[in-house]
């Protein structure tokens, strides 16, 4: 696998089978069309690391029946500059707000600016960690927050009683409470409610980043991954050992191991599904001592009737 820090994006992130993005699109049949589809999370490749899935006739074999995906996210901080180079608020946060109808002041993927040991700062995109040993799940008295077989942690607003015990238990401060009718656009009320996308939201319930599992299952990357201008966020399937940032397809295990990836507050043994590669945006030219970012914005011009604003 080529080094991640090289100049050409297609060359620096080859996928697990040796295909670059252009070759992979050609493999899928998009190359001849002259257009690229929405960023995808492919279910099969001609070869998966550690497992040959190519038939004798050269055609890719299907994945084993009944295999359950195990979603994960890897955030490469070497490529995150808080969108300073764009001169905009963080685009991952904005895309999440627009795509998931996130009410103000909630930021389901929040960009924190933290100090580095030798001075300067780094930007840290922080979604829900989707912990395998999730304190929120352990304390919910009505089982409103739960694990799915795919590893995500979801909240069922039909069961949530608004006790907020899960919020107190979360060591990452990644849960939010709707103190009133959420200030979201009227079109959000047209959705058929599901814990996988949490719309339409309602007063008196807890909500959070849901990892966009229904999008990934359909082959589309989460909004935050699609929107990142520096391709710093990878979304993947640990079961299939694959991850992509929409531009490159890589082995998830190699990406983690070769770059000494870490998880937040590992001493708590919560086992998050979100991993980080250390950095401060240096791969996209950011000076660690260039501090500050543009504040997050909520684009809603019109809000649902009775909507109430509050401060976090």
39 has pLDDT over 90: no
Concatenate the DSSP letters of all residues of 219-280 into one string: TB--HHHHH-TT--EEEEETTTTEEE-SS-EE-HHHHHHHTT-B-TTGGG----SEEEE--S
DSSP string for residues in 95-133: HHHHHHTPPTT--SSEEEEEE-TTSSEEEEEE-----TT
Smallest CA-to-CA distance from 198 within 181, 184, 182, 210 is with 210
Domains and CATH numbers, the chain: 70-284 (3.30.70.20)
pLDDT at 37 over 80: no
> What percent of the chain stands above pLDDT 90?
75
- Interval 186-214: pLDDT, tens: 999 999 999 999 999 999 999 999 999 89
pLDDT category, 312, cuts 50, 70, 90? confident
pLDDT in tens, 283-304: 999 999 999 999 999 999 999 9
List, for residues 111-164, the tens digit of each pLDDT value: 999 999 999 999 999 999 999 999 999 999 999 999 999 999 999 999 999 999
Type and span of the H or E element at 139: helix 135-139
């Amino acid at each position: 696998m080529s080094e991640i820090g090289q100049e050409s994006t297609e060359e620096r992130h080859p996928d697990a089978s040796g295909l670059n993005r252009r070759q992979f699109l050609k493999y899928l049949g998009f190359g001849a069309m002259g257009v690229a589809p929405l960023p995808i999370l492919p279910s099969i490749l001609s070869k998966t690391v550690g497992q040959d899935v190519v038939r004798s006739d050269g055609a890719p074999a299907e994945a084993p029946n009944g295999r359950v995906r195990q979603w994960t996210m890897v955030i490469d901080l070497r490529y995150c500059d808080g969108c300073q180079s764009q001169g905009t608020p963080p685009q991952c946060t904005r895309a999440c707000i627009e795509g998931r109808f996130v009410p103000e002041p909630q930021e389901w993927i929040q960009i924190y600016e933290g100090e580095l040991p030798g001075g300067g700062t780094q930007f840290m995109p922080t979604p829900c960690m989707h912990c395998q040993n999730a304190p929120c799940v352990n304390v919910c008295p009505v089982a409103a927050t739960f694990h799915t077989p795919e590893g995500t942690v979801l909240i069922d607003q039909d069961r949530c009683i608004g006790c907020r015990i899960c919020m107190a238990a979360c060591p990452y401060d990644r849960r939010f409470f709707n103190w009133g009718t959420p200030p979201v656009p009227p079109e959000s009320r047209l959705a058929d409610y599901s814990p996988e996308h949490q719309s339409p939201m309602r007063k008196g319930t807890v909500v959070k980043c849901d990892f966009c599992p229904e999008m990934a299952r359909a082959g589309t990357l989460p909004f935050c991954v699609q929107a990142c201008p520096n391709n710093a966020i990878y979304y993947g399937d640990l079961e299939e050992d694959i991850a992509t940032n929409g531009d490159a397809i890589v082995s998830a295990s190699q990406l983690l191991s070769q770059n000494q990836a870490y998880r937040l507050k590992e001493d708590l043994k919560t086992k998050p599904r979100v991993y980080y590669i250390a950095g401060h945006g240096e791969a996209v030219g950011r000076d660690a001592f260039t501090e500050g970012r543009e504040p997050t914005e909520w684009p809603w011009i019109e809000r649902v009737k009775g909507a109430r604003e509050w401060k976090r």
